[in-house]
Structures are given as structure tokens and as C-alpha cells.
Structure 1
Amino acid sequence: MKQLKGIWALVLMLLISLALVGCNSSAGTDDEPAEDGDAAEETEATSGGQLVFARGGDSTSLDPAITTEGEAFRVTDNLYETLVNFGPQDTEIEPGLATDWTPSEDGLTHTLNLREGVKFHDGTDFNAEAVVFNFERWKAGDAEQFAYYTSQFGDKIDSVTAVDEYTVEFKLNAPIAPFYKNLAMSPFGIASPAALEEFGDDFFKNPVGTGPFKFKEWKENDRITIVKNEDYWQEGLPKLDEVIFTVIPENSARLNALATGEADLIDGVNFSDKATIESNPDLQVIERPSLNVGYLGLTSTRGPLKDKLVRQALNYAVNKEQIIDAFYAGAADPAVNPMPPVIAGYNPDVADYPYDPEKAKELLAEAGYPDGFEMELWAMPVARPYMPEGQKVAEALQKMFEAVGVKAKIVTYEWGTYLDKAAKGEADTFLLGWTGDNGDADNFLYVLLDQDSIGSNNYSYYQNAEVHELLLKAQASSDQAEREELYKQAQVIIKDDAPWIPLVHSTPLLAASKNVINFLPHPTGSDLLSSVEIKQ
């Protein structure tokens, strides 16, 4: 991760320097010189105003603890805060609601000193008791209710204690190497205990945190409005008065809304539209640092997919380069492993399944399906950073599978239903993806493919005892070199077991009006908007 940190640090420095001279060039990494007259426009950048952020789908919850999807975190990261923060464009840890922390030598005790003078949006105090309340709430739930708590901490947190008003102590049953990175993740935003008790099961639509923005209203499948927290503890922030997250399902319609001024910022930009946006002097393209994987999950507990040979055959049937050329305009790399190469512990020696339809047919025949079989292929109903055109990718895969005798019926559902049913193992095969939450290999391999995560984020219901042992050992080790070697071993086994068809690692595109400045897209996909301004 040191290399990645250095890259993003350079990007951040460049962005700041461009903002200081009033440059509004396309993409966060553009190094073209500012045009004449831009410096004079700097004085027009003012605080206040409204930002309309158009996206492909609605949030499923505004309680980050009970969801796993990015459209929720896109909003909640601006309403809640975590004990530890990530850097502006990397996953290195920084102070958040905790100002500093001290781990014990054995990694089993962690003492955090909390920031004083912070209040929740309802006026109640943030303190150690509030932290304890949140963790006890998550610990008392189960994988279905608090999937992320289960996958990141499980039963490894023995206790969370308020030592005094602004000191909290965590005692673990076993070391967790990425403990602080886990604390910085979106699902662990600290909520107001008073509001949790007041709203009960309806808290997910009545969010109360300590963040730079406060919740105003949610019109489902239309818009979520958040407004400036006038009592925010960071002086001078946020810059905006109001942010509206509006839902426009079609990528082309979202782009049109941007072009006509109905939206200021959009995600899910088709890669084929990049040149068109760049040619418009009123717009800018923004590249999100890549930390993702798009994949087709193969549920290993269903029908023919129980057989490893069948899963391997489907891998041989897929032409990844064709998918990338058709739907990513080349702005993606074929995925070999379940995590991107920038993650420490990635195994570059694992060979991918080459595109080989004849080999696919041979394996199907060996598995007892010489004439193929029928299955469902679930297509995502929303654009996501790793897959902006889920339906079209599904159609391409359908043709590839048909060429080897497998008839795939395309099925889709509303986004929340899609995730819920897939998590319950109801899909044969399903398109999905993952944007890393903390930059650690544990967040990909353990969270997505360990047997402990079945029922939470392991939608393919894959389990392998040897992989499980390797991942638990890596999770508990304080030796980074040892951890990386263990993850590399696990990837070899996972590749052979083929619970997925890893498809792509993409460089997601966003677009914005040239009037939007200081927007720093985060590799996790959850963007803090407190520093964003609109030039008037």
C-alpha cells in the first residue's frame, strides 16, 4: 500500500495546486496548465449553495450499520463519522472522532482517546458511552442484521469499555491485523444513542450522526436531501448549504441532466461517453482511484454449480477482453484474482483461465453435462463503479455461455431485493462487484469468500477449510510479510475452486460541471463532500 499511498498523495497535491489557480480541467489527475483567466475566477469560489449529485439507484438504508451497498454509504459518510478516518484519497488511517490510539504489544487491547466537544445532530454529546452503545448494538445482532460487523470483527471483540468520558478501551479475543482500518470503514459510523432509542426500527430513515451534514428528507427512489450542520466541530466546514442525491437510473439520462444543468455531479458514466464529456467546455471528467473488482458469482450450493469442474468450465467460456472492449472502452483490466493488484498480498503468479470454449465443453462433459444445462444469470439493475452497464454485460455473458451449451436466463430485481435474495443464496449466478472498504486484502478475501462470511458478504456460499485457516492466520498476524504470503497461498486455492468469474478491475468515471471544485473521489467509493464548493 506504500506505493499506492504515494501515488494518491501526488494526485492530491496536484489537485490542490490546480484548485489554487482556479483550474477546472477534466479528471482529478489532469496535469495540463491552467488556461488564461482562470486565476481571476478564484475569487468567485464561494461557500454555500446547493449540489445535486445524480446517481443510478437509491440508498437502501441511512443506517450504515445495517447495509453493505455503496449507494447507502455515499450518503451516510456525510452524516456520520468514524473513530478513525482514511486519508482524502487513500486508505492510510488518520484521526477521526478519536484523536489518537494505543495498541498493546499483543494486539489484544486498544485504547482510543476521543475528540472532546463533539455533538450529535440531535444535540446530545458524543463520548465514550456513545461508542460503547454502538458497538454493543452491533455485537448483539447477527450476520443478517449487521453483515459488516460480522465480517470485519465477528466474535473477536470481547468487550468495549468507557474508561472515562473520552477514553474507550477495546479488548479482543484474537488479534485483528487491520483493526484500525476496519474502524475507519463506512458501516462503523457512530450514531446517536438517543436517536437509536427514539426511532428504533425506523432509525434507518431517521439518521443522526456527528457529520458535516444533517439529514433533511428522503423521498424514496427520488431524492435524499442533506443540509449543512451549522454546529459541526471542524470550523469552516462544510462549504455547501445543501446536497441533494437524486436518482436517475439510466446512464444516458444522468449525463443529459448534467449537460442541461439539472445535476452538478454524476456517477456511473459510460466509458464510451468520456470523449463527449471532455469536449464540452462546461463539464469535467473525474476518475476515481481504482480499488474494485467486478465479478460473476457462481453459487456453489446450487445445482450443477456444486461441481468445481462446471465452475471452471464457465470461467473458460468467458472472453474478458471482449467485455472490456465493448463496455469499458478499454478503461479496465481483466481480473484474475478476487482483489485488485494494488492490494498488498495480491498474487501475480496465479494464471487466469484463458478464453477457451472447447476446454469449457470438455469440462462440462467430464462433469456429466455434455449437452450443457440451464441456469439463471442475475443482472444488476443499477450502474455501479465496477459495472456501469450490468444488463448489457449479462447479455454478453449469456451468449458466451450459450456457445458452450449452457442456457442462461437473465433475471433482475429492484436493487435492494437483488442484494437481499443474492445474500440468501437464491441466485445461480449473479453479477456483482466490490469496492474495497479499507485497502486490506482481508477486506476482499475474508469478507467476500471466507466461510464465516456466508450469510453476509459471501454471496457465492463458497467454503474451503484450508482457505479459512489461511485467512484467519493472516488476519491475526502482525507480520505484514507473513500476511501477504498467506493471502497469496489462499488465492491459488480460490482460483482452482472457481467460486467466481472475476471480470474486471475498472477505473470508474464520474462527471461534473466545471463549477464544481474540491471534489476528491475516494477509492472506497464513499466521498466526503464537506470541502466541495460551487463556483458562482
Structure 2
Amino acid sequence: MSVLIKRLCLTTAVACMGCILVACGPQRVPSGLVYCSEGNPESFNPQLVTSGTTIDATSHQIYSRLVDYDAASGQIVPALATRWHMSKDGLSYYFTLRHDVQFHQTSRFMPSRPMTADDVLFSFNRIIDTQHPYHKISRTGYPFFQSISFAEQISSIEKISDDRLVFHLNHKDASFLSNLATDFAVILSAEYAEQLLAAGHPADLDQYAIGTGPFKLVQYVKNEYIRYRKHPDYWGEMPKIDMLVFDITSKSTVRLAKLITGDCSVSALPKAGELSVVQQHPDIMLESQPGLNVAFWAFNTQKAPFNDVRVRRALAHAIDKKNILRAVYQDTAVEATGILPPASWAYEHNADLIAYDPQKAKALLNEAGIENLSIDIWAMPVARIYNPNALKTAELIQSDLANIGVRVNIISYDWSVFSQKLSESNYDSVLIGWTADNSDPDNFFTPLLSCSSAHTQNNRARWCHPGLDAVLTQARTVTSRLERRYLYQQAEAILADQLPMVSLAHAKRMVLKRKNVTETQLMPFGGIAFGGIGHENGEAR
């Protein structure tokens, strides 16, 4: 579809929505917003993936969680649950649910009741109960929950009444509430699931999404757009826009062009080199803040020669991270010396033990008996917050490794193919990263590097270290922030010693928007949310 035709489609979509609203209610100018997104979602259920592209399109638009995380206060705050308390032994969490929370009504589903504890039980039992009729519907599993051993953590989930329930844990876990506030812990409709199961179409649950969020899904056309409509019975603050469109535009330069021409009001993931162009347009502004993220180069430690720590250290010493920061990030990131970013409360500045040293790299390869090494580097085809240009990063690493006699083959595909093939774990190394969902440091370690995560798509290094697992387990069972910080620094020391991956950078979180778009709140973690977005001087497009 050409850019012109696509523009007409999006404009028509907003205009048609206006006709519907004017015909059915007070005479007013309807409002809509077009967001230039970087790629297609893999699913419309964030429980099934860890892709940031999917999270952006689903978690805060379509769904709600029991609790949310407030970036300003750093506290867990009510969402679908209005209050909660923990038992004295720390093994049970009791929740009271918000009354009269309505699910979306669509042409596919007309709910007969508001949300109850049954919906919460369905949403989590699907994940933890292998005999649940919906458990195996997901072909990708439940990667975030599997990576944190959620099923092993939960003893049972008990319904007390329609508006009360309790999670019983097998062991104390200081990160439990934080995990319930992640973008993955969304609440689905049990009634909708029962209807689809009876009709023989259970997989539709994850594609034709029904939630309690500020927007309901209207239409998705792959590689083109996603259309949402305001949920008129939303339980929270009512969205200020009537219609939301994700314009799927993979090229950053095209996203910027659409923002300049007004075809988009907000644009994702600008490249650092484009920011000088933004300065030439006074009607466009950049929002940025330090992010809770990390870009890294992960080695497949289950494959030779990457199962030899000397080889991993050699490759790490061979790359010039400062040059990558200059060329790829251009002052929009800081160099990573560990997995935790400076924005984390457990961060501690340490000198990088793996400094750029090509001669040391050569010596380590010789010590390991490696000659004529040729490796593959898989590089993401889409920009992400933690790495605006993985292909460029791969090219710089390719050049650095050539200086020590290592040949590099760069591999990339369309994002949907890339993520599918990556899940097969038949790669040498991959350039990827992670954006945290909350400020708990465990969100950087357990989902990415625990032994339980080694069996999921999250642990790209396919690495398991019992010593690290022991430290992480201890860190989750204590409540003292000082003690937990000390333990996470022990975890950082293990990573620096074993190097299953090389941390490259912690990037600023950035978004471009037109100046008439107001009330945006750029958070250091999690997906983007449009429920509270507003605009001045008429419709934002």
C-alpha cells in the first residue's frame, strides 16, 4: 500500500468514526490520534510474548491489571484491585476487586456481567495449570511467567467471593506485587473464553482481544494499521480521544516524515541522527528521560565455542563500546558496565572489567585454542528503546572482530520471522535487550538470566548458573532495600565473571510528538499508554 493510499485509509477511518459518534450523540467534533508504530504485534495478548512492540499495542490500550506501578511515587497503586494486604507469614496476598468493571462489547462478544474474581482466576490459572483447557492454546508459552517460575511460586489462587480472592505462595517473594504490576499480568474475560471454547475457536481469545482497558480493538491489518475505539464504560479516567490508530511504519525516516506532515501525532523510537531534523520544526518536540533498560549482545552458551568463558571474554574485549555509543546512540545513552541501569535503585557504578583490548582478546582466543573463528550475529530488524539500530551495532562489532581475525555473518529477517526463528535457539549470538516493567531490580535478572528462564525465550544466552540463582532467590526473600542492593551487586559480579552476555548501553526513553499533544507521561519502564493523552486546538491526527 502506498503512503498516499495508507494516509487516506487512516484519515477515512477517523472521519468515519466521527460520523458514527455525531449520529448517535451530541453534535461535536470527535477526536482521534494516530501513533506511528514501528512494527506488527505478535499477538494481542501480552501474556504470551515479551516483545515491546506487542506490549505497546496491547497492555495499556486494551487491558488492565490488578495493580499498577506509579513511576512518580515508585509505589504499587490500585487498578482492578482497590486494596490488598499480605498475611503475617508473607505467603498469602488478599485482594479486593473494584466493583462494576465492564469488559469491552464488540460484534464478537456481549458480556453479561462485570469483572469478578472468576476472571482473575481464569487469567492466572491458564498460565500456571498445565491441565487448564487454555494452557496449551499458546504456542509460545508464557515466557515472562515461565522465566520467573510463576507456576512454582503459586500454591493456589482461591476465590473468596465475587470481589475477593487470595494468592497463596509457596515461598516469600519481595517481587510478587511488582510482577503483578507488569505489562504481562493482564486480566482476561473468563466468559469470553468459555464462549470461544464452546464454539471451537479458543485461539481467538489472544487475537480478537477483549479486556477492560481504555480502548477496545476494532481492526488489525498486518503491516498497515491497528484501530481502537474508546471504551465507553471504562472504569478509570475516561480517555480524551474517541479513536486511536497505530500506523505501522517500520522505517524511522518515514515515521518522522509522517510526524512532520501531521499524518501522525506521536511517533515511536526516533533515531539519534534524526534529532537535528526535529530541531528544525518548532511544532514537534522530543520527550526523553533516563530509561530502565539495557541493550546487550548475548552468546548462546549451549553452543561451542561460546560455552567457553575464555571465548566469551575474548569477544567482549574485542568490541569498542564507546564507539558504538558514538555511532549508534549519539549521546542518547550511557555505557553499560553491568545489567542494571543508573536509574535503578540497586545500581552501583563499577569500572568496566571488560575494557576494549584487542590484544588481550587475541591472547584469550589463543589460550582457548581457537583459530579461524566465524560467528553469526543475529540483529533485530526493528528499532527498540534500548537499541535504535541493531543492524548498525552489528556492523560495528563485525568491524571490531575482524581486527582480531574473527569473521562475522550478520543475520536479520522481518520482525515476525526473526522472533519466530529466534525462539528456536539455533543462533550463535544475538543483539537484543530488555526494558523493565517496574523498578524492582529482580526484573532485570530473573526473567533474563535465571535457570528457569533458560527454558524460555527470555534467556537469550541459554545460560544457567546455580550460584546466581541462589543469590536471586535470597534477594527476593528479604525486604531490606540495603540488603537486596548488596545481593544484586553480587549478582552483577557473577555476570562480570562469567559473561553470558555483554551489556552495551542504557538508552534514554524517547518519543516524538506534535506540540498540540498534551498530558503525555513518559515513564522509564513499560509500554506506551494513550488512555490519558490529550490535545489542544481541535483534533490531533
Above 0.5 in TM-score?
A: yes
For the pair 1:156 / 2:139, whether they are aligned, the reply is no
Segment of structure 1 superposing worse, 138-147 or 472-481: 138-147
Cα drift, residue 420 of structure 1: 3.3
8 A Cα contact 1:271 1:509, kept in partner: no
My pick for the range that moved more, 278-287 or 111-120, is: 278-287
- Choose the corresponding residue for 1:202, options 201, 204, 207: 204
Cα distance change on mapping 1:421 and 1:351 into 2, 3 Å:
same
Q: Give the equivalent residue in structure 1 for 2:102.
A: 119
Deviations 1:445-493 (A, max 9, x none): 1110111101221111111111111111112223332222211111111
> Take 1:467 and 1:279, find their aligned partners in 2: how far apart are those partners?
49
Give me the TM-score of the superposition, normalised by structure 2: 0.87
Specify the alignment match of 1:78 in structure 2.
61
Q: Confirm whether residue 283 of structure 1 aligns to residue 279 of structure 2.
A: no
SS of the residue corresponding to residue 507 of structure 1 reads strand
Whether 1:183 aligns to 2:166 is: no
Structure 1 position 525, deviation (Å): 3.7
> SS where residue 306 of structure 1 aligns?
coil
Residue among 46, 56, 60 paired with 1:64? 46
Calculate percent identity across the aligned residue pairs: 32
- The answer on 1:386 being equivalent to 2:386 is yes
> In the aligned structure 1, how far is the partner of 2:74 from the partner of 2:408?
39
Change (3 A) 1:339 1:88: closer
Paired letter, 2:428: D
**Equivalent residues in 2 for 1:397-436 (5 A)?**
397-436=397-436
Range with greater deviation from structure 2 (90-99 or 221-230):
90-99
How far apart are 1:88 and its partner, in Å? Answer: 5.2
- Report the number of matched residues: 489
Find out whether 1:521 has 2:522 as its counterpart: yes
**2:476 is the counterpart of 1:475:** yes
Q: Deviations over 1:16-35 (max 9, x none)?
A: xxxxxxxxxxxxxxxxxxxx
Residues 47 and 239, structure 1, Cα contact 8 Å, conserved in 2: no
| Compared CA separation, residues 450 and 90, structure 1 to 2 (3 A) | farther
CA contact (8 A) 1:347 1:491 kept: no
Tell me how far 1:531 sits from its aligned partner: 1.4
Tell me by how many angstroms 1:240 deviates: 0.5
Contact 2:122 2:188 in 1 (8 A): no
Shift of 1:175: 1.1
Query: For structure 1, which runs of at least 5 residues remain unmatched after alignment?
Result: 1-45
Q: Which residue of 1 aligns with 2:127?
A: 138
Matched residues in 1 for 2:355 and 2:386: separation? 21
CA separation in 2, counterparts of 1:362 and 1:47? 69
Q: Which residue of 1 aligns with 2:11?
A: none
Q: Which residue of 2 aligns with 1:87?
A: 70
Residues 1:108 and 2:104 aligned together: no
Amino acid at match of 1:394: A
Secondary structure of the residue that 1:149 maps to in structure 2? helix
Asked if the contact 1:47–1:240 (Cα under 8 Å) also holds between the matched residues in 2, the reply is no
- Deviates further, 238-247 or 480-489: 480-489
Query: Could you say which residue in structure 2 is the equivalent of 1:165?
Result: 162
Q: Secondary structure at the match of 1:408?
A: strand
AA of the residue aligned to 1:483: R
* Other-structure match for 1:274: 275
CA contact (8 A) 1:48 1:533 kept: no
Deviations 1:490-517 (A, max 9, x none): 1111111111111100113211111111
Determine if contact 2:290/2:524 at 8 Å carries over to the other structure: yes
Maintained 8 Å contact 1:335/1:502: yes
Report the equivalent of 2:319: 318
1:387 aligned counterpart, secondary structure:
coil
**Counterpart residue number, 2:229:** 227
CA contact (8 A) 1:372 1:404 kept: no
Tell whether the 8 Å contact from 2:69 to 2:76 is kept in structure 1 after alignment.
Answer: yes
Q: Is the 1:81–1:96 Cα contact (8 Å) retained in structure 2?
A: yes
**Corresponding position of 2:439:** 439
Change (3 A) 1:525 1:252: farther
Give the AA of the match of 1:71.
Answer: T
Q: Using the TM superposition, give the Cα deviation of residue 90 of structure 1 relative to its aligned residue in structure 2, in angstroms.
A: 6.5
- Report how far residue 341 of structure 1 moved: 2.4
Matches within 5 A, 1:293-312: 293-312=294-313
Structure 2: stretches of 5+ with no match in the other structure: 1-27, 106-110, 130-134
Q: Which is worse superposed, 200-209 or 94-103?
A: 200-209
Q: Is the 8 A contact 1:57 1:383 kept in 2?
A: no
Per-residue Cα deviation, 1:255-314 (whole angstroms, up to 9, x for no partner) = 011111111111110112223212311111111441110111111111211110000011
Q: CA RMSD in A?
A: 1.7
Does 2:449 align with 1:449?
yes
Taking structure 1 as the reference length, the TM-score comes to: 0.88
Q: Distance in 1 between matches of 2:428 and 2:100?
A: 51
Counterpart residue number, 2:215 = 213
